[in-house]
């Protein structure tokens, strides 16, 4: 498995900057901060970090991100993994099937699809996979909780294609002996072809594409956090007991800033910097850990020598880090007292 992965997006920039392009006529796709979500009843906090992707359905337009690094050659296999949260307000007044992720040829022809279906009479929500533009094999999808969604796709112009869906690491649907027209050249994440009568919010987080199976995050809020990408170790006040830069590239760097927004407002807020190979590790035997008030934003940079910049952080007392409820409380307080931030 590649580290960093072949493609990874944690949405921590709070924008679409990690992706090649965005299609969002009607402006229903955004990247809300955890303090925004904290004020919405029933909304989640991001699965990890301070931001996630949201689509607030309600029209027939596409609301998608497009990435060309999501590519699968003929006879090869690719894995996509992300976390998906369907708000309790997801509903429809007419039966509707729509896609939330597509594997496309470089020119845009759809080879495989992952989509959802709502049955208006029962308000049942399902997720399914399909060979081509529309999903055909469905299973029930819960509202109101984060679910790990993983898609295996073996591309074959010779009739040996496979498409398999995993939810929370359990295989729930598979299609075999598929004939693909050509290799996959891009991935498209977000809603397509919804009816205007389909409403409610879908949230996406921790997106990864790789050549090997990825699986879910073993512990959502671990005491020792392994980071493969720039982002928040946690939001709110807390401590980092020690930090280690794991890779040995000559220009690999790890920086920790006291901020709960993405890469802005860094001036004067840098708390720690590690650079390899000169000082790749900070362990604090004196008992004076790195403390932050706004949040621990970790910046990893450098070339991919020995796998690219990777870091391990041991997290101490971080306000709300182990509890969605406490993170929401902290976010609501942040909104109520913006002058303190």
- Assign domain 7-210 to its CATH architecture: Sandwich (2.60)
Model confidence at 1, pLDDT cuts 50, 70, 90, reads very low
Fold equal for 7-210 and 224-340: yes
What was the pLDDT predicted at 317? 84
- For residue 305, is pLDDT > 90? no
Mean pLDDT of the chain: 91
What integer pLDDT is reported at residue 2 of this predicted model?
Answer: 41
From the number of C-beta atoms within 10 Å of its C-beta (0-12, 13-18, 19+), residue 78 rates as buried
The per-residue pLDDT for range 39-55, each reduced to its tens digit, is 999 999 999 999 999 99
At residue 320, does pLDDT exceed 90?
no
Q: How confident is the model at residue 92 (pLDDT cuts 50, 70, 90)?
A: very high
What average pLDDT does this structure show over 123-133?
A: 95
pLDDT at 112: 96
Put residue 198 in one of left, alpha, beta given phi > 0 → left and psi -120 to 50 → alpha. beta
- CATH architecture classification, 224-340: Sandwich (2.60)
Query: Cis before residue 144, ω within 30 degrees of 0?
Result: no
Kindly tell me if the per-residue pLDDT of 61 is higher than 80: yes
Q: What is the DSSP letter of 44?
A: P
Contact 171, 149 (CB under 8 A): no
List pLDDT tens digits, range 66-83: 999 999 999 999 999 999
Query: What is the structure's pLDDT at 20?
Result: 97
Res 337: pLDDT: 65
Report the run of H or E that residue 272 belongs to, with start and end. strand 270-275
Q: pTM for this structure?
A: 0.94
**Domain definitions of the chain by residue range:** 7-210, 224-340
Residue pLDDT, tens place only, 262-283: 776 666 788 888 887 666 667 5
Q: Give DSSP secondary structure letters for 147-192.
A: EEEEEEEE--TTS-EEEEEEETTEEEEEEEEE--SS-B-EEEEEEE
**Is the pLDDT confidence value at 57 over 70?**
yes
pLDDT greater than 60 at residue 182: yes
Nearest to 191 by CA among 19, 86, 60: 60
């Amino acid at each position: 498995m590649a580290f960093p992965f072949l493609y990874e997006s944690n949405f921590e920039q709070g924008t679409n900057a990690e992706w090649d392009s965005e299609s969002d006529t009607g402006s229903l796709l955004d990247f809300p901060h955890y303090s925004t979500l904290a004020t919405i009843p029933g909304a989640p906090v991001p699965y990890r970090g301070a931001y996630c992707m949201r689509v607030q359905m309600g029209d027939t337009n596409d609301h998608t991100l497009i990435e060309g690094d999501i590519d699968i050659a003929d006879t090869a296999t690719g894995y996509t993994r992300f976390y998906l949260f369907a708000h309790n307000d997801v509903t429809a007044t007419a039966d509707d099937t729509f896609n939330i992720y597509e594997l496309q040829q470089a020119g845009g022809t759809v080879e495989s699809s992952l989509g959802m279906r709502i049955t208006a009479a029962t308000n049942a929500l399902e997720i399914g996979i399909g060979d081509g533009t529309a999903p055909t094999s469905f299973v029930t999808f819960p509202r109101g909780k984060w679910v790990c969604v993983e898609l295996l796709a073996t591309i074959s112009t010779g009739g040996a294609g496979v498409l398999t869906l995993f939810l929370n690491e359990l295989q729930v649907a598979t299609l075999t002996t598929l004939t693909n027209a050509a290799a996959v050249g891009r991935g498209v994440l977000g809603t397509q072809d919804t009816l205007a009568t389909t409403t409610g919010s879908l949230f996406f987080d921790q997106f990864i594409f790789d050549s090997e199976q990825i699986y879910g995050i073993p512990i959502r809020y671990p005491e020792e956090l392994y980071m493969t990408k720039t982002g928040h170790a946690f939001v709110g006040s807390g401590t980092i007991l020690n930090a280690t830069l794991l890779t040995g590239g000559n220009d690999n760097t790890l920086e920790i800033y006291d901020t709960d927004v993405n890469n802005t407002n860094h001036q004067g807020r840098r708390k720690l910097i590690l650079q390899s190979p000169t000082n790749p590790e900070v362990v604090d035997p004196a008992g004076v850990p790195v403390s932050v008030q706004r949040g621990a934003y970790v910046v990893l940079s450098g070339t991919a020598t020995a796998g690219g910049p990777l870091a391990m952080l041991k997290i101490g007392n971080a306000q709300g880090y182990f509890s969605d409820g406490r993170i929401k409380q902290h976010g609501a307080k942040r909104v109520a007292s913006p002058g303190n931030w």
